[in-house]
């Protein structure tokens, strides 16, 4: 990583913005170039500054609904290289699914209660800038619980697990097919099979692809915590 990471921050609460700015200021590799209070302002400043990373709250003016996530997804669509960190007080699987519905690469979902933990936030910023992902461990637990009662990963075949690992890297079915030298229709069949084995249905707010990836990340996190602060 060369140079300082340029970050734009959006939160409608001034004290939260300043607290996050101060937390990020402990890392000399990160520079907050703008801090705004609405999703509209966030999108405007991103278009003007093209930062490395965006940090946004979920509920923002004017409706205090999902303006932050909606803005983040629009930013990602226009500028795929921009890392996204959603900083939220809500440990809600539905919000996380909305954020991660198109993949986890360059995405992070961190609970605001982690702000006071060394490296929790700065680590997430650095991870998404490098196309990695950081999902708060409590959110992972909630997401996994929403999709299954127990881990059936041991039931996957070697090929299904390879497909799942590439999903976790953010690859599309086409990208996975290229990596494994298979047809895209074959990947779709493997994906369908692993979804069934992971007992992931089509319930509202449950995106099977994202839930499968998070099941895999949860297993990896037991050996290497996904978003706990670095020692």
230: which DSSP letter?
A: P
CATH number at residue 176: 1.10.10.10
| Band (12; pLDDT cuts 50, 70, 90) | very high
- The CATH number linked to 52 is 3.40.50.2300
* Structure tokens, 14: 């001034």
CA of 32: how far to CAs of 19, 22, 112, 118, 188, in Å?
Answer: 12, 10, 18, 18, 41
Last residue of a domain, one of 141, 176, 201: 141
Establish if 219 belongs to a structural domain: yes
pLDDT tens digit sequence for 188-212: 999 888 888 887 766 544 467 777 8
Instruction: Determine contact, residues 156/199, Cβ cutoff 8 Å.
Output: no
Whether residues 51 and 100 fall in one domain: yes
CB-based contact 143:96 (threshold 8 Å): yes
- Whether residue 163 is found in the same domain as residue 107: no
Q: Are residues 22 and 109 in the same domain?
A: yes
What is d(CA 191, CA 208) in angstroms, rounded to the nearest whole number? 10
Q: How many domains does the chain have?
A: 2
CA-based nearest residue to 159, from 207, 191, 196, 195: 191
DSSP letter at 154 equals G
pTM: predicted TM-score of the whole model, two decimal places: 0.65
Which pLDDT value is given to residue 118? 65
Residue with more model confidence, 129 or 103:
129
Q: What is the pLDDT of residue 146?
A: 56
pLDDT digits (tens, 9 = 90+) for 32-41: 999 999 999 9
Strand 107-111 versus strand 53-56 pairing type: unpaired
């Amino acid at each position: 990583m060369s140079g300082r990471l340029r970050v734009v921050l959006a939160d409608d609460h001034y004290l939260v913005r300043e607290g996050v700015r101060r937390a990020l200021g402990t890392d000399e590799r990160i520079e907050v170039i703008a801090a705004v209070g609405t999703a509209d302002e966030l999108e405007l400043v991103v278009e003007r500054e093209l930062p490395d990373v965006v940090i946004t709250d979920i509920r923002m003016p004017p409706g205090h609904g999902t303006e932050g996530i909606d803005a983040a997804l629009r930013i990602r669509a226009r500028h795929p290289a921009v890392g996204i960190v959603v900083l939220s007080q809500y440990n809600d699987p539905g919000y996380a699914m909305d954020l991660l519905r198109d993949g986890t690469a360059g995405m992070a979902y961190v609970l605001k209660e982690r702000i006071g933990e060394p490296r929790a936030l700065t680590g997430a910023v650095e991870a998404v800038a490098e196309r990695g992902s950081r999902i708060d461990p409590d959110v992972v637990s909630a997401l996994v619980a929403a999709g299954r009662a127990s881990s059936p990963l041991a039931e996957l075949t070697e090929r299904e697990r390879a497909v799942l690992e590439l999903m976790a890297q953010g690859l599309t079915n086409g990208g996975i097919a290229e990596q494994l030298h298979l047809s895209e229709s074959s990947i779709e069949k493997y994906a369908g099979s692993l979804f069934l084995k992971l007992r992931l249905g089509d319930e509202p707010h449950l995106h099977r692809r994202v839930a499968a990836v998070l099941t895999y990340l949860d297993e990896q996190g037991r050996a290497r915590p996904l978003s706990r602060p670095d020692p």
